[in-house]
Amino acid sequence: MYLDSDRRPPITPQLAFRVAVIGGLALIMFAVIFFRLWYLQILSGDKYLADANNNRVREIKVEAPRGEILDRDGRVLVDNRVGLAVKVRPDEIPPPGPRRNALYERLAKTLRMKPAVVRKSVESQFKAQPFVSATVKQDVQFPAVSYLAEHARDFPGVEPEAVFLREYPHHEIGAHLFGTVGEVTKEQLNDARYRGVALGDRVGQSGVEYSYDRFLRGENGKQRVQVNALGVKTRDLRETESRQGRNLRLGIDLDVQEAGQAALGTSRGAFVVINAQTGEVVALGSSPSFDPNIFAKVIRPRDYKRLSAEENGKPLFDRAIQGGYPTGSTFKLITSVAALEGGLITPETPLFDGGSLTVGGVTFNNAGGVAHGSLALRQALTVSSDVFFYRLGLAAENRGNGLLIQDWAHRLGLGRLTGIDLPAEGQGLVPSPAWRNALYKKKLTDRPWSVGDNINLAVGQGDLSVTPLQLAVAYATVANGGYVVRPHLGQRIEDADGRVLQEFETPSRRKVDLDPAYRQAIMDGLYGAANLPGGTSTEVFTGFKIPVAGKTGTAEKGLGRADQSWYAAITYPDDPQYVVVATDEAGGFGAERAAPMVRQIIAALYDAKDDGPSTVSRVPD
């Protein structure tokens, strides 16, 4: 009997089950792979083919120049110039390593920069936009560019490129108005107003450059190029030209702006010129000023720190719209309105000025200790009687809720934003019992509100904080009969050929009710102050060709500090045209410093030849 060697044992049910399971899993996996490939190649083939083609095409930004800023007569206030920037091409620079580091060293030495700064700047730009040339330095002087060109073999991938840079031909004149530009920040990119702006684009950061950025900012072009798998450009495909931004015409008069800056000189102060009927700003300036060309390329931290330093006068600080000050006797216009409209006096009500007023054991004196005797409102404004207005402050404190002066100050535009088309405007402060008492409860001041605070407020002293622009709005409101104007700079948008594309409407005016008889009494008092014997600024405007009504102001600072000088003027008071306000933080009496400044500005406003006042006495107000 022989054994059959080819005979195998039958497959057990367990083994058969395992084979079936494994086979089923393999079939399922194969089906998944098959259907995935079918999806990628058949259903999504066109999409991935387009993506593959797009990987071969890169877009390079072509920067657009910004629009010009013009004055009311079309004179250029802000322009563009072409500068040379040194850039590094990502497709030609050596790969990361010793050769690239050596290039950074040579480039830094040529451009007088630190190698670490060059390396950090270039690498961060490559990381953000891998196929776009990285800017090493803007506005490079020609000798450095020439050296790079002559030694091109030592600087692979380095090339100069023309770029548009902002130019401010008048330097410090109007710097706070025009503002600055700078690269858009990450926070700004999330703002709807910067829709369409990309990282690296330059936008307005202050002044009208910021307020009207959407008009001034152009539309960047783009250059489409084809690259190979290594990212090296193989050929140019198409270029879309950039579009320059629109031109902005302002209501600013360059001659008046220059006159205002010249009148301020090196003093710390500000000036404002607005149309009394419409609020159009003709000139507005602050001193010390700065040259915005410093920021045309890049805002360096050391420049910002220097121009923000208190010891340098904080040149970046716009005193015209941000500086909050007590106004001295220029505030008497507001007190006059409040007293008349509040029923404390009539234009003919006499009050006695004996040279001082004692309340609660505290004596409030006239400036210079002068006693004017019995006088009514017109004469009180003409001679600037402090005691007359002290009495009104005392009466207002004892009338109703004690907020008569505060209420009218707010109605006339103090302690609130004027709405000017400039960023970062200051709100100011009109002190009240609630404000001071709240500070006292928090132990942020040494005492609660007292009647003396209202007496000081009546003559523009104490905790009052007003910007020169706010004071101009208040004077314009009285001058025009009760319309609170909204100051504005922009007139219209134009194309490069001067064709009007968009006119800006004059902002609506808020109306306050002023009795015409009361208004006229106040205007008479202001006219007397600048023209009649005994007027606090009569000497300043003697012989001046332009009719003026105005008020001096001297704000005491105490602690041995020089008094702040103020003057507010209304031209052609019978048919008011302009309001001019000027202040010098350490100018002394209003008639001594601020009033002559205003005369100089008004002369330029009306293109009148004027040698200024012959003599000016130290007239207290």
The Cβ of residue 475 has, within 10 Å, a number of other Cβ atoms equal to 29
Using 50, 70 and 90 to split pLDDT, how confident is the model at 472? very high
User: Are β-strands 69-70 and 247-250 bridged in parallel, bridged antiparallel, or unpaired?
Assistant: parallel
Q: Indicate whether 364 and 506 sit together in one domain.
A: yes
Using 50, 70 and 90 to split pLDDT, how confident is the model at 402? confident
60 forms beta bridges with 223
Mean pLDDT to the nearest integer, 540-564: 92
Q: Which of 250, 285, 309 delimits the end of a domain?
A: 250
Q: Is residue 22 part of a domain?
A: no
The answer for 402, left when phi > 0, alpha when psi is -120 to 50, beta otherwise, is: left
pLDDT tens digit string along 299-308? 677 888 899 9
Instruction: Give the up-direction half-sphere exposure of residue 76: CA atoms within 13 A in the CB hemisphere.
Output: 12
Using 50, 70 and 90 to split pLDDT, how confident is the model at 241? confident
Domain that holds residue 199: 59-250
Lowest mean pLDDT among 18-22, 283-287, 448-452: 18-22
Q: Indicate whether 239 and 312 sit together in one domain.
A: no
Domain of 137: which CATH number? 3.90.1310.10
Going by C-alpha positions, the residue among 398, 402, 375, 397 that lies closest to residue 386 is 375
Q: Is residue 265 part of a domain?
A: yes
Residue 178 and residue 203 in contact, taking contact as beta carbons nearer than 8 Å: no
Q: Indicate whether 579 and 601 sit together in one domain.
A: yes
Q: What is the pLDDT of residue 205?
A: 92
Q: Indicate whether 143 and 231 sit together in one domain.
A: yes
- Which residue shows structure tokens 């700064």? 117
Question: Residues 6 or more apart from 621 whose CB is under 8 A from it?
Answer: 328, 329, 367, 384, 536, 552, 553, 554, 589, 590, 591
Q: Identify how many contiguous H helices and E strands the chain contains and give both numbers.
A: 22, 23
Residue 287 and residue 314 in contact, taking contact as beta carbons nearer than 8 Å: no
Using 50, 70 and 90 to split pLDDT, how confident is the model at 3? very low
Q: What is the pLDDT of residue 2?
A: 45
Q: What is the pLDDT of residue 166?
A: 92
| Distance from the Cα of residue 358 to its chain's centroid | 45
pLDDT tens digit string along 156-166? 988 887 788 89
Four-residue CA torsion sign, 299, 303, 305, 307: negative
Residue 393 and residue 484 in contact, taking contact as beta carbons nearer than 8 Å: no
- Tell me how many domains the chain contains: 2
Q: What is the pLDDT of residue 1?
A: 45
Q: Indicate whether 134 and 119 sit together in one domain.
A: yes
Q: Is 438 helix (H, G, I), strand (E, B) or coil?
A: helix
pLDDT tops 60 at residue 5:
no
Using 50, 70 and 90 to split pLDDT, how confident is the model at 465? very high
% of the chain beyond a pLDDT of 70: 89
Q: Which of 228, 250, 272 delimits the end of a domain?
A: 250
Q: Which of 250, 274, 308 delimits the end of a domain?
A: 250
Q: Indicate whether 559 and 508 sit together in one domain.
A: yes
Q: What is the pLDDT of residue 39?
A: 61
Q: Indicate whether 267 and 193 sit together in one domain.
A: no
Going by C-alpha positions, the residue among 460, 390, 411 that lies closest to residue 431 is 460
Q: What is the pLDDT of residue 226?
A: 62
CA distances from 271 to 140, 256, 465 (A): 37, 11, 16
* Distance separating alpha carbons of residues 592 and 565, to the nearest angstrom: 8
Q: Indicate whether 127 and 176 sit together in one domain.
A: yes
Q: Is residue 611 part of a domain?
A: no
Q: Is residue 144 part of a domain?
A: yes
Mean pLDDT to the nearest integer, 105-119: 91
Q: Indicate whether 264 and 406 sit together in one domain.
A: yes
Q: Which residue has the higher pLDDT, 441 or 196?
A: 441
Using 50, 70 and 90 to split pLDDT, how confident is the model at 223? low
Using 50, 70 and 90 to split pLDDT, how confident is the model at 467? very high
Q: Determine the Cα angle at 586 with ends 479 and 170, to 5°.
A: 75
Going by C-alpha positions, the residue among 282, 67, 254 that lies closest to residue 171 is 254
Mean pLDDT to the nearest integer, 204-208: 94
Q: Indicate whether 164 and 188 sit together in one domain.
A: yes
Q: Is residue 8 part of a domain?
A: no
Mean pLDDT to the nearest integer, 556-581: 93
Q: Indicate whether 77 and 140 sit together in one domain.
A: yes
Q: Indicate whether 79 and 205 sit together in one domain.
A: yes
* Distance separating alpha carbons of residues 555 and 587, to the nearest angstrom: 10
Using 50, 70 and 90 to split pLDDT, how confident is the model at 195? confident
**Global pTM value:** 0.85
Lowest mean pLDDT among 8-17, 51-60, 70-79, 381-390: 51-60
Mean pLDDT of the chain: 89
Q: Which residue has the higher pLDDT, 49 or 16?
A: 16
Q: Is residue 514 part of a domain?
A: yes
Q: Is residue 577 part of a domain?
A: yes
Enter the tokens of residue 181: 């530009």
Long-range contacts of 126-132 (CB under 8 A, 24+ apart): 126/90, 128/199, 128/200, 129/199, 129/200, 130/90, 130/231, 131/58, 131/60, 131/90, 131/91, 131/227, 131/231, 132/60, 132/61, 132/90
Domain of 534: which CATH number? 3.40.710.10
Q: Is residue 184 part of a domain?
A: yes
